[in-house]
Amino acid sequence: MRCLISTTIWLTAAALTCAAQPVRTPSPGDKVISPEVHSDGRVTFRLYAPQAREVTFSGALGVESSPKQPMTRDEDGIWSLTVGPLGPCTGTYQFTVDGVPVADPRNPAIKPAFRGPVSSLFLVPASPPAVWEPRPVPHGAVHAHWYRSPANDELRRFHVYTPPGYENGKGRFPVLYLLHGAGDTDAEWVGVGRANIVLDNLIAERKARPMIVVMPAGHISVPGEVRSPLGSFSAFEKDLLEGVIPAAEKLYRVTGRREQRALAGLSMGGGQTLNIGLRNLNRFSHLGVFSMGIRGEDFEKTHEAALANAERTNQALRLFWIACGERDFLWEAALKLDAVLSQHGIRHTFVKTPGGHVWMNWVKYLAEFSPLLFQ
């Protein structure tokens, strides 16, 4: 009886508490759809901000960067902007509300940022699906691993893609070490760059060899050094060569041979690829540099050994692939890299593309670069 009385009192108290809670009044923002991709490739972005004085939109629309554009407010306090039509693509965007950058609250697809504001993601689909879109093919897996870095004795993380059928197989695989940019983390090549989807589709079409892809964290600092937004390049080299590679090749069925080990990256990761790859030709046989070049540093002095003996370097490198967009802010740096390599007789491929310093280009570069690996 005592239990029954106590339960009754509790239920009554709970009911009174619930009854006392104010009922939320629905708002026009509850029905906002953003982004809305139209059948003709136009995309409408919306934000419910009735108290805002000014809202602008900026982002990357396919391979082009979009400067800030004003959004229009309706009588319900919903701001909107329609762009396009766009071709099949992925993109990133953000709103700026009275000077404050924000992600789209109606869109669960976001790009976390190592520095700067968080962005939202969108996709304009293709028919049939593009190489960066999910298709009904066998899928690989993505794993996350923590390890203690030999460079600064901190716990750090890397992501790994394993090809379809890896878990039930026994063979060993070549490996691509894939590096991110300055605004990213080790999760972005999957979360934004769709590397796992691209590889799934290319492998299913037999356009790329099944491979393992290791995606380490590129930002690192060490005690006693002045902290930089990009971290320490020398510390990252130590972390990659002595931490990430041994850990990955112990955990996964990697061949471990130089001939089947590639290094590639975008922007900051492209710079890391250049500096580490050319100094460690005994470890890497394939290099991919996306949206990066020579940026004022004494490149020829730093890489004198590789540049001075073109015959040896060309024998060591089975593939040296460089790509950059004509409207990328690093376009001139990429041209300079192409010229210096040509001047020294270093065999390489230089790919010029439309557009700028955006993820859609890097997704396309990965899709073009991957089939060339380990042939």
Statement to judge: residues 330 and 181 lie in one domain: yes
> For residue 339, is it within any domain?
yes
Q: Cα 52 to chain center, whole Å?
A: 32
Q: Which domain holds residue 198?
A: 141-372
Q: Which of 233 and 50 is assigned the larger pLDDT? A: 50
Statement to judge: residues 260 and 356 lie in one domain: yes
Other beta carbons within 10 Å of 351: 16
Statement to judge: residues 220 and 297 lie in one domain: yes
CATH code of residue 309: 3.40.50.1820
The CA dihedral of 174, 180, 185, 190, to the nearest 10 degrees, is -60
Total count of domains within the chain: 2
DSSP symbol at 173: B
The per-residue pLDDT for range 178-218, each reduced to its tens digit, is 999 998 999 999 999 999 999 999 999 999 999 999 999 99
> For residue 13, is it within any domain?
no
Q: Would you state the structure tokens that stand for residue 86, as one six-digit string? A: 């766009």
> For residue 230, is it within any domain?
yes
> For residue 103, is it within any domain?
yes
pLDDT score recorded for residue 116 = 67
Instruction: Output the CA–CA distances (angstroms, integers) from residue 46 to 55, 57, 69, in the order listed.
Output: 10, 10, 13
Find out whether 87 and 64 touch, Cβ atoms under 8 Å: no
Statement to judge: residues 263 and 222 lie in one domain: yes
Statement to judge: residues 74 and 171 lie in one domain: no
Residue type, 171: G
* Exposed / middle / buried, residue 167 (Cβ in 10 Å: 0-12, 13-18, 19+): exposed
Of the residues 124, 158, 188, the one at which a domain ends = 124
Rounded Cα distance between 225 and 234, Å, is 11
The per-residue pLDDT for range 82-114, each reduced to its tens digit, is 999 999 999 999 999 999 999 999 999 998 877
Find out whether 220 and 151 touch, Cβ atoms under 8 Å: yes
Statement to judge: residues 267 and 297 lie in one domain: yes
Q: Which of 84 and 3 is assigned the larger pLDDT? A: 84
pLDDT score recorded for residue 268 = 94
Statement to judge: residues 230 and 106 lie in one domain: no
ω into 128 cis (within 30 of 0): yes
pLDDT score recorded for residue 29 = 80
- CB burial string 96-106: b at 16+ within 10 A, e below: bbeeeeebbeb
Statement to judge: residues 165 and 247 lie in one domain: yes
CATH code of residue 79: 2.60.40.10
Statement to judge: residues 188 and 45 lie in one domain: no
> For residue 130, is it within any domain?
no
pTM value is 0.90
The per-residue pLDDT for range 261-319, each reduced to its tens digit, is 999 999 999 999 999 999 999 999 999 999 999 987 788 998 999 999 999 999 999 99
The per-residue pLDDT for range 132-175, each reduced to its tens digit, is 999 999 999 999 999 999 999 999 999 999 999 999 888 999 99
Of the residues 99, 124, 149, the one at which a domain ends = 124
* pLDDT exceeds cutoff 70 at 224: no
Q: How confident is the model at residue 244 (pLDDT cuts 50, 70, 90)?
A: very high
> For residue 132, is it within any domain?
no
- Closest Cα to residue 328, out of 287, 305, 295? 295
Q: Say whether 74 sits in a helix, a strand or coil.
A: coil
Rounded Cα distance between 252 and 173, Å, is 9
Of the residues 94, 124, 154, the one at which a domain ends = 124
Rounded Cα distance between 192 and 203, Å, is 20
Statement to judge: residues 199 and 152 lie in one domain: yes
* pLDDT exceeds cutoff 70 at 13: no
- Closest Cα to residue 92, out of 193, 220, 239? 193
Statement to judge: residues 160 and 291 lie in one domain: yes
> For residue 136, is it within any domain?
no
pLDDT score recorded for residue 2 = 46
Instruction: Output the CA–CA distances (angstroms, integers) from residue 278 to 187, 237, 243, 319, in the order listed.
Output: 26, 12, 19, 12
> For residue 134, is it within any domain?
no
Statement to judge: residues 60 and 167 lie in one domain: no
The per-residue pLDDT for range 16-39, each reduced to its tens digit, is 455 556 676 777 788 999 999 999
